[in-house]
Chain A
Amino acid sequence: MTRQAFSPRLRPGSTLWLLTHELRLTWRGVLARRRGGARGQWIVLLALSAVAAFAGVPLGLMLRRLEIPVTPLSVIIADVVLAVVFTLMLSQTVAAATEALYQRGDLDLLFSSPLPPRRALTVRFAALATNVFATFAVLISPFLAPIAVIGHPAWLSAYLVLAALALFASGCGLALAMGLFALIGPRRTRAVAQVVGALIGAGFFLASQARNILGGAKSSSLWMEVVRFAGHPGFTLPPAAAWPLRALTGDPLPLATLALGGLVAFLGAITWLSRRFSADAAAASGADTAPAPGRARTARFAAGAFAATLRKELRLLWRDAALISQVLLRVLYLAPLGFLLIRNAGAHLSLALPGGAAGLVLFAGQVAGSLAWITVSAEDAPELLACAPTPAATFRQAKLAAAFLPLAVLLTPILAMLTVLAPGVGLAAAAGCAAVSLATGLVNIWYQKPSKRADFRRRRGSSWFATLVEVILGLLIAAATGLAAAGQIWAAIPAILAGLMMLALRRSDAQIARALRTFD
């Protein structure tokens, strides 16, 4: 007997029925992305259980008798934490809402069915909210569940608060995506939404690093400011500011208000925008593929396979909104480090510099790894390259060059300023960045795994070995750079270890071809 495809208890076509379908597809997508099948799921479950047992339970015992006081400081902390969670959720939902416009998937099928479009959209975004909620719920559960069981069952209301935030973020994400669509048109919305999502996600981090960016004289750290303000005797907050904290600790009225607020915002956005969404989705079809008006393109052809491949890879990198947003996110996280490094170099604070130089190398390794994966493994037309009369080495060189060029553009100003202000540190950082880029690039060539560009965000799951090697190499070269910048002879040890590791991992052309099962 075949398994029943649809639940017999739910009326076909109803919102719940459709939501079940969406969630099943989402779950299967999660399983498909996880390599290792059932064993991988058990490993994740075991890891979460271990965290719960060894960190959650002790924390629960510690907090057993703690009653959180509603003071200005605790209120501000709760508000800030929820605001951070909300911005992280919003950065996900705005990108997902935009992608839904362009890669509609089965929305065409749903919109062409007799179901009301609003229902289809409600379900699609409810599934998105569920996804976002589940991500955060999994992260907090190893801590929250033991705490709730041991002494604070009322704190389970944090899940409801998370759900309300996820609903609110989904509604806002949809509204933001549609707003961008109306404001800048279908051709640019996709890329801009990815960047906006990255900016929103990094917003709180940047705010917290204001001191590093602006300099000590102009700002103090966010945390110190908060403590100072909250401790001031005359400082009071409006009562509503305490509602998030009270909702988190299970106070029924604020909890119900927050949950209702999230639901109303979600349903309001859907109701308000559902008709518009259908129209925009139709307008988005192919619109972002049109050329920018008034621009002459491809005036001169590139000469030779290297130049043509390099140009093609750079074009594809530049047009990859997901990649740009991720690199931008890393640049945003790097910005405070860069400012700190240059300011310390200018002030001749030599002891603070080696760590910064090592951080710069870690950043370079991460970005080089991402770009090299895109250019080497995510080749859209491998057969075209395979049947071209071009040696494989030419492609590899061009692809690595394409991966390194954007990184060089990003790092050159920082490294140049650093070299002017502290020549030894600058040169060590430049050598470290070059070495780590080359090392991760070569690892991506030796252990390439043909994938789709769309898998970029999940690339780490596709080749855990290459990922692990990249991380270890990054750490070794960063350590060597930091020690060299500090003038330590011990820098030779991690540098030699990294070199030996590269020698041990090296693969010949024939070995790469065998691994890829291609005709070398």
Chain B
Amino acid sequence: MLDNFMPTGVEYFRVLPEIILTLVGVLIMFLEAVLPENAKTILSKVAGVGLLGALAAAFYTDPGMAFQGMLVVDNFATFFRVLVIGIGFLTVFASSEYLRREGQTGGEYYMLILFSIVGQCVMATANELIMIFIGLEISSIASYVLAGYLRDDARNNESALKYFLLGSFATAFLLYGVAWIYGASGSTNLTTIRGELVNGNVPEVMAATAAALILVGLAFKVSAAPFHGWAPDVYQGAPAPVSAFLSVGPKAAAFAVLLRVFVGGFGPMADRWAPMLWVISLATMTVGNFAAILQSNIKRMLAYSSIAHAGYVLVAVTAHSSTGSAAAMFYLAAYAFTNLGAFAVVAYFSRKGERYVKIADFEGLAERQPAMAAMMTIFLLSLIGVPLTGGFFGKFYIFKAALEVNLVWLTVLGLLNSAVAAYYYLRILVVMYMKEPGESMQDLPPAGAAMKVAVYGSALGTLVLGIFPSWVLDFATKANLR
């Protein structure tokens, strides 16, 4: 009997990325304790190497189930694992300079990033509600700490506390939903749940309640309206590279879960939840965009913009077709590069103690640091959705998926929303290019090598996804959930 529960070697191999990340995380913690102070700059490199190793392991993995079907390594999981590990890689590059500036050695920081990614990888591979919960908790707890990483900074503390309280509350909803569906279907395995739903063995009211509760939990994690309230405060308060990470990494993983649970597990009752998502996605886009117009702090504005972008992805989820899933996945990848890049520029620009985070502070950046301004332009154009950037193709593909299933009004309103959004992104272009350099430009140092890697790498990714989307899109299309 016990033999059945003993995993085989190949099953361990399937979770190799997680294993590598955990081991490297522990190693970093150990090195932090033993290394002399001046040698600690190596920690970021260790984290980078660990992430590269995990990336390779995620790429060359052997598809299949692991641990009694609790984890499933399919194309879908591989896509998201590669995505979140890649996000972690760029985040590490965007962080090292920032941490040095703030007087931090950063051992714990990299360890937390790695652990958070482990959680996200588990979320991407989980085929089981309990595993999803565990992954979510691993990811979230690390993220809570990251948000308050500079513990002497009041804003960091506020951010972490808010994130923690609201996040736990949302996780409780999720867990309650899991309990309902377990009670109703007798299983927490998504494949089994799907089967039970198809066979009509589950009382519909109970299944709907479970779906609603899980949706609340996940809507919080992807910062969908009306559960988006935490995002602006958290992103504004957290260190800029952490905001970059939070706005793309945990969010991508949460969308992976959303797709896996709703399009996969609860797929048979899509006609019940799709209308709900219709409303949520429209509300999310609209709230995000209109609130972003009013912001004067660039981190807060990017936070609202990330809410709006979650709304676009939800449009693809609402379509609950294979095109829709592929569109959501592509968009998340494009958005990851774009938003990481934008936040990285903010991290570079803000200087010690994040003094310069107002939009108006960017005045004249194009004259002082034309390369950085040009990169920021690429990110902003991608966020607007101008062709030849990943953001455009992602949006195009999302609305294509929506129109395929006749979501005409959602498409029209979504596209008009993106025209509204253009306004606040253009405002940053205006201050960067069309204003004279102000006081905030006086002590702006050129970007360091690591920051350049993060920013240029993100810009390159944004453009490549816009000009040659097939590479990623084919991958996403193969990851069929049905």
Q: Say if A and B assemble together.
A: no
A→B interface (CB under 8 Å): none
Name B's A-contacting residues (CB within 8 A).
Answer: none
